[in-house]
Amino acid sequence: MTDQTVSGFAVRTDLAYDLDNHMWVDVRESGHARIGMDALGLETSGTLAQLAFSTDDEFVRGEPFGTLEAEKFVGPLIAPLSGRTVAVNGAVSADPGLVERDPYGAGWFVEIEPTNLDEELPFLIRDEADILERFERKVRQYRIEGVLAE
């Protein structure tokens, strides 16, 4: 695990990211992939009130796989990869604050068996330097837009 901090936000550079939707992906040795939300997405959403995940066994990259209700945002969670659900983290449904306390660990959302990993993984940001630079750029953008305070 490689932890970094970018403008005050925790980032794990050993994960893959869909920064447009603030999702991270951890491709595990089993070939399954865990999906969760990055710290910047959590900050811009505000305090989480509720998380709900689709009951469909399969979902498609770019489409909703669940919903998030928070202080500043209510809306869909967008899948960074296509796959079949193998596990849902019931602990975060019962206690959404777990995601805020440990976004890259116990706060994961779902685990999937990817169905198009080789085709879809290149759409995610995986290089450490690229991850750090793009997070920094996103933080600057959000500060200019007033989404984040200085």
In a domain, 55, yes or no: yes
pLDDT at res. 149:
74
In a domain, 19, yes or no: yes
Domain encompassing residue 113: 3-143
Residue 131 host element (H or E):
helix 128-145
In a domain, 121, yes or no: yes
In a domain, 7, yes or no: yes
pLDDT at res. 56:
81
pLDDT at res. 40:
93
- CATH code of 45's domain: 2.40.50.100
Residue 68 host element (H or E):
strand 64-70
Residues of the chain falling short of pLDDT 70: 1, 150
In a domain, 148, yes or no: no
Query: What's the CA angle centered on 62, arms 138 and 8, to 5 degrees?
Result: 25
In a domain, 117, yes or no: yes
Count how many domains the chain has: 1
In a domain, 136, yes or no: yes
pLDDT digits (tens, 9 = 90+) for 16-40: 999 999 999 999 999 999 999 999 9
Rounded Cα–Cα distance for residues 134 and 149 (Å)? 19
What is the 8-class DSSP label of residue 125? Answer: B
In a domain, 51, yes or no: yes
